[in-house]
Amino acid sequence: MLFVNLPVNSVDTTKAFFSGLGFTFNTMFCDEKSLCMEVNPMASVMFLERKRFADFTPKTVADAHKSSEVLMCISRESRAAVDELTQRALSLGATEAREPQEHGFMYGRSINDPDGHIWEIIWMDMAQFPGNEAAGKGEEKPA
């Protein structure tokens, strides 16, 4: 299992933003200072209010509006789904972190969430991935 921990200014703002994107939360790990967002059955993101986050590290807590401490990347099933999720995030207050990225076998968009954390949203056609021996051998491409 993977738990990514991120500092946030407000769990209420964070919950509203990510709920609006369709994510759910594991209430067993949520309280007034923390949220546990389920990405999939094996990966979750813990959002901890900055003071609570500081309880877990002797280092200065990064301000994601000023520096990058981590890049999160989530995949979608199609290019259209990447664009749809990005547009929904922008309508909920996110900002674009950079221009869309087109790499032939991969398409991606990047947003800054309300706390400045960068989220990469990507789609990949593994049949077209460089070096993939299965490419061109009649295997069906992902939709």
Q: Are residues 41 and 93 in the same domain?
A: no
Q: Are residues 2 and 43 in the same domain?
A: yes
Total residue length of the chain: 143
Domain boundary among 16, 43, 61: 61
The pLDDT tens digits for 89-121 are 999 999 999 999 999 899 999 999 999 999 999
Domain boundary among 61, 91, 106: 61
Mean pLDDT across the stretch 54-75? Answer: 93
Average pLDDT, the chain: 91
User: How many percent of the chain have pLDDT more than 70?
Assistant: 92
The pLDDT confidence band at residue 133, using thresholds 50, 70 and 90, is low
Report if pTM > 0.85: no
Residue 141 predicted with pLDDT over 50: no
Question: What HEC string does the chain produce?
Answer: CEEEEEEECCHHHHHHHHHHCCCEECHHHCECCEEEEEEECCEEEEEEEHHHHHCCCCCCCCCCCCCCCCEEEEECCCHHHHHHHHHHHHHCCCEEEEEEEECCCEEEEEEECCCCCEEEEEEECHHHCCCCCCCCCCCCCCC
Q: Are residues 97 and 135 in the same domain?
A: yes
Q: Which domain holds residue 20?
A: 1-61
Residue 140 has what pLDDT? 45
Q: Are residues 41 and 10 in the same domain?
A: yes
The pLDDT confidence band at residue 126, using thresholds 50, 70 and 90, is confident
Residue predicted with more confidence, 37 or 140? 37
Q: What is the largest CA-CA distance in the chain?
A: 54
Q: Are residues 100 and 39 in the same domain?
A: no
Residue 134 predicted with pLDDT over 80: no
**CATH code of the domain in which 89 resides:** 3.10.180.10
Q: Are residues 25 and 43 in the same domain?
A: yes
Q: What is the domain count for the chain?
A: 2
Mean pLDDT across the stretch 114-137? Answer: 82
